[in-house]
Amino acid sequence: MAEQDTVRLQDFDGYITRLFAPEDAALVDARALMRKENLPHIYVSPSEGKLLHMLAKISGAKWILEIGTLGGYSAIWLARALPADGRLITLEIDPHHADVSRRNIAHAGLADKVEVRVGPALESLAAMPITADERFDLVFIDADKEGYPEYLKKVVPLTRSGGLILADNAMKASVLDQAADSGIARYNAAASAHPELESILVPVVRDEIDGLLISRKK
Ligand code: SAH
Ligand code: DHB
Ligand code: MG
């Protein structure tokens, strides 16, 4: 991508962030602790965090599942959209990431709403009940990209009818190469062909362009 285009994309994201997604102290502090604890800079941007927050609010989500916690940054944006009796469960394989996330979530005053479960996400998912009154209103998938297709299979039955399944990083440049195989390309193909889902891939601007795949369970 030409350097000029990249600068303009970041300028647009800065504009969106200033107007619609300013961070408060808890979010600024969460990024600072992630940096101090050497967690990778792969958390959502403030503008994407606000998009997740809006989707949770618009859909009236009370029961949210996140796959891939890192330092709890996206979990804070999502959990802040919950009503008083709402809950978020977030799955994280790395105990150090989980520890940092718990500190950030507590600092944001959300410890009573958010539960961090440590372990491989597929194991945590396998242990979840699928009864009708315990289904999730919103699922945010943001862990290892190779795992995405399997996460989709596991979360569709865990999502209520009318609920949302969101997948981060669904518009990597590699998806344009029809010959290249990747977890993301397989996830996008599976979501688009899934009889129980209707979906749209929405571009998201960060350092470079990426996307959020939004699926609604029929
Ligand atoms: N959602 C976070 C960023 C998540 S980064 C945010 O935007 O703030 C991806 C996270 O997924 C990392 O913390 C990584 O340790 C975790 N992860 C990778 N493989 C996993 C697996 N199999 N099960 C659970 N978590 C996993
Ligand atoms: C990576 C992972 C992410 O979830 C993300 O938003 C950006 C980058 C990565 O593993 O490189
Ligand atoms: Mg991501």
d(CA 95, CA 119): 8
The three-state secondary structure class of 92 is strand
Look at residue 16 in the predicted model and tell me its pLDDT: 95
Residues with CB under 6 A from ligand 1: 42-44, 68-70, 73-74, 91-94, 97, 120-121, 142-144, 147
Cα-to-centroid distance, 42 and ligand 2 (Å): 5
> Can you give the pTM of this predicted structure?
0.97
pLDDT at 1 exceeding the cut of 70: no
**What one-character DSSP code corresponds to residue 62?**
S
Residue 168 beta carbon below 6 angstroms from any ligand 2 atom:
yes
Q: What percent of the chain has pLDDT over 90?
A: 86
Look at residue 9 in the predicted model and tell me its pLDDT: 85
Lowest mean pLDDT among 126-130, 138-142, 191-195: 126-130
Name the residue among 87, 44, 59 with its Cα closest to residue 165. 59
Token pair recorded at residue 36: 């101090």
Q: Residue 98: CB partners within 8 Å, gap ≥ 6?
A: 69, 92, 116, 118
State the average pLDDT for the chain. 95
Q: What is the mean pLDDT of residues 113-136?
A: 93
pLDDT at 2 exceeding the cut of 70: no
Q: What is the mean pLDDT of residues 27-39?
A: 98
Strand 87-92's sheet: what is its strand order? 114-118, 87-92, 63-67, 136-141, 159-167, 209-217, 197-205
Q: What is the mean pLDDT of residues 37-64?
A: 98
d(CA 137, CA 56): 8
The DSSP element (H or E) to which 201 belongs, if any, is strand 197-205
